[in-house]
Amino acid sequence: MSASSIRIMIVDDHPMVRLGLSTFLKVYDDLELVGEADDGAAALQLCKEVLPDVVLMDMVMPIMDGVTATRAIRQQFPSAQVIALTSFKQEGLVEKALQAGAIGYLLKDVSADKLVSAIRSAHMGRATLSPEATQILVEAANKPPPPGHDLTKREWAVLALLVEGLNNTQIAHRLGVSSSTVKTHVSAILSKFGVESRTEAAALALRHHLIS
């Protein structure tokens, strides 16, 4: 293989997936398979020996999962890029993989052409996301903020006591402030929640699990 070839490591607990990926890698001159591992822990070990440029990382594996392994590899071998390659497309997983330092997130329905270009992009530090992963991220980013995101610390405290069913005098007593101060806080909470009554506010808080 040429000196400039991209060193690739495959991490997947399914032997047939490793078989497919290794067969696929054979036809590209600039890609070189340098190691295979069947779980995250083994992958981390192998990284030390083979120093890959790009790791194709399954997410759901026994012993050490893909997210944990990605984070560890990115910390210990910053020059290695990780592409998450998975059949799962849960919202949480995409974000977790990216937060752990993956530069790509592809589903296991990606074509050979797309996969090879994703590997080359990753090697150059460019991200590739499957359309599904992109959509999940966009949806997550566009979600309206949860009610209560703009409450002050004091208002949170008042809300918690309000949910317990305390009246203003009792809340004032608990927090060591005057009743009129509590009244101000309660009005602020109602207006930020966009509700009319403290009962509605309490119901909203409980419905969104704002108060544990």
Partner 1 sequence: MTPSRDAYREVFEAAGDGLIISDVETGRVVDANSLAGAMHGYAREDFIGLSSASYITPSGERQFLADLQAIRPGDVFEALSVHQRRDKTQFFAEERRSALTHGDRACLMSVVRDISQRVESEQYLLEEVETRTREQATLLEVSQTLASALQLKPGLILDQLRAILDYSQAGLFALEGSDLVPLAVRGPLPLEQAVPFRIRMNGPETLTALFPDNAPIRIADVSGADSAAQYLRSFLENQAAMLLAGMRAWMWVPVAVKSEVIGAIGVAHNELDYFTDHHANLALIVANQAAITMVNADLYEHAQALAVLRERQRLAQDLHDAVNQSLFSAGLIAEVLPRLWDRDNAQGRESLDDLRRLIRGALAEMRILLVELRPTALTDSDLADLLRLLASALTGRAKIPVTVSVTGKGALPAEAQVAFYRLCQEGLNNVAKHSKAKRVDIKLQYGPADGAVELRIHDDGRGFDPASIRSGHYGLSIMRERADAVGAVLSIESRPGQGADLAMRWAPAPKQEVA
Site for partner 1, residues 110 to 139, rule: CB under 8 A = 111-113, 115
Beta carbons of 57 and 98 less than 8 angstroms apart: no
Stretch that binds partner 1, among 24-32, 64-72, 155-163, 168-176 (CB under 8 A): 24-32
Q: What share of the chain is helix, strand, coil (3-state, %, to 5)?
A: 50, 15, 35
- The residue range among 13-21, 44-52, 73-81, 189-197 that interacts with partner 1, by the rule CB under 8 A, is 13-21
Q: Does 17 bind partner 1 (CB under 8 A)?
A: yes
Among 1, 15, 30, 167, contact with partner 1 (rule: CB under 8 A): 15
Residues 50-69 that bind partner 1 (CB under 8 A): 62
Residue 81 neighbours by CB under 8 Å, 6+ apart = 53, 54, 55, 103, 104, 122, 123, 125
Task: Give the CA count within 13 Å in the CB-facing half-sphere of 1.
Answer: 16
- Which one of residues 50, 95, 108, 179 is an interface residue with partner 1 (CB under 8 A)? 108
Sheet holding 81-86, edge to edge: 31-37, 6-11, 54-57, 81-86, 104-107, 128-129
C-beta of 208: minimal distance to partner 1 in Å?
28
Decide: is 208 part of the binding site for partner 1 (CB under 8 A): no
Position 2 contacts partner 1 (CB under 8 A): no
For 26, phi then psi, to 5°, come to -65, -25
Shortest Å distance, C-beta 34 to partner 1: 18
Beta bridge partners of 56: 10, 83
For residues 159 and 205, the answer to whether their CB atoms sit within 8 Å is yes
**Of 103-111, 144-152, 158-166, 193-201, which segment contacts partner 1 by CB under 8 A?**
103-111
Establish if 90 lies at the interface with partner 1 (CB under 8 A).
Answer: no
What are residue 66's phi and psi, to 5 degrees? -65, -40
State the residues that interact with partner 1 by CB under 8 A: 14-17, 19-21, 23-24, 26-27, 62, 87, 108-109, 111-113, 115
